[in-house]
Structures are given as structure tokens and as C-alpha cells.
Amino acid sequence: MAAPVRDPKQTPVEPGWDNVDGVLVEKDMGAESDWIATEAIGFMRNFVGRGKLGRVFGQGGGYQYPALDDGRLRFPDVSFVAAEKLPNGIPHRGWLTVPPDLVVEVCSPNDEAEEVQTKVRVWLEGGARLVWVIFPASRQIAVHRMDRTGKTLVDGDMLDGEDVLPGFTVPVGELLPPLTDAV
């Protein structure tokens, strides 16, 4: 579902929606995509500890700052912000106003390739250092870096946090539903 926005910079966006180039697009994750996002949050949260390295946020944690697509509000499925960017902790009200260091987007069956590419571009141009796009259907993870390099990982490979989360690793298959779960 999509709806045009009159003033993209001034229009508040509710969790579950994204503002993609001035159009509100409903984020229809579904059970599988939500499960994958939750797994990613769990692995990342266990690695970063209780805020020592930074904070991990789910899809309700919105971002709004000038470098992000002219200040439009965005909601990644999962994100990580390094502790040094949050010297006062997590904001009690409003959205995060600093770029995430890492963004995870989980593709659902309803996502279109162009929309996913736009999200990756916007996050990287807005200051994200690393973007992981998880494709459950093909059992792949596309890794995109700020310097425009990247790679595609498949089930059996190891995903790592590179210089954003040094030392973080997780098998790609751990972020995907077991093959026996497919219906």
C-alpha cells in the first residue's frame, strides 16, 4: 500500500510505514520477515551487550536527520548505533537524529527490487556505514558498504560486522528460517 505525501519533510510517519521518495509505503513484513528481524536483533544485542558498544533498534526505531533523504523519517527493520553517537543515551521522545552505523532490511515477498535498491541508496547516502539486505526466498544476504562495494553471502557463509561491529559473526543460515519451515 502506498500514499503520496504533500510535504515529505513535515509528514510524521507511523511505525510500519516508510517514506520512499515522497510516497508513504506500508511495510508489510509478515511473520517470516518479522522472525528474521527478531533473530538479527537477538544476535546483535547479545554481541553488543547492554549498551557498551551501542544500541540495537527494531522497526519502531525511526530515524530523522538532515542527511537522511532531506530529513525524511525512515524505519529500518533493524539498526545499530555506536555508543559514541548516543552520549546521552536513547532519546526518551522523538526519533533518532544520528545516522545508524548498520541497517538491516529484510525483504518480504511484497518488496520490489527498485524499492529495496532505493532504501539501500538512501541509507548509505544518509551516513549508514553498512547495510545488510536479507533475502529469505533465495537464502542470501547482500552486504552494502558506504564506499559502494559489497558482496552477496549464501547459506553456509559467515556474515560479519566488519569495521562497524568488529568481531561480530553469525552464520547466514542462523538468520534464515529452517528449510523445513517453508510452506
Domains and CATH numbers, the chain: 28-181 (3.90.1570.10)
Cell numbers for 171, please give them.
Answer: 552464520
Longest dimension (CA), the chain: 46
pLDDT digits (tens, 9 = 90+) for 101-156: 999 999 988 788 888 999 999 999 999 999 999 999 999 999 999 999 999 999 99
Q: How far apart (Å, rounded) are the C-alpha atoms in residues 173 and 88? A: 36
Q: Is the pLDDT of residue 160 over 80?
A: yes
The pTM of this model reads 0.83
Q: Is the pLDDT of residue 1 over 80?
A: no
pLDDT digits (tens, 9 = 90+) for 79-105: 999 999 998 878 777 889 899 999 999
Lowest mean pLDDT among 51-55, 75-79, 134-138: 51-55
Contact criterion met (CB below 8 Å) for 102 and 79: yes
Instruction: List b or e across 160-171, with b for residues whose CB sees 16 or more CB atoms inside 10 angstroms.
Output: ebeebbeebebe
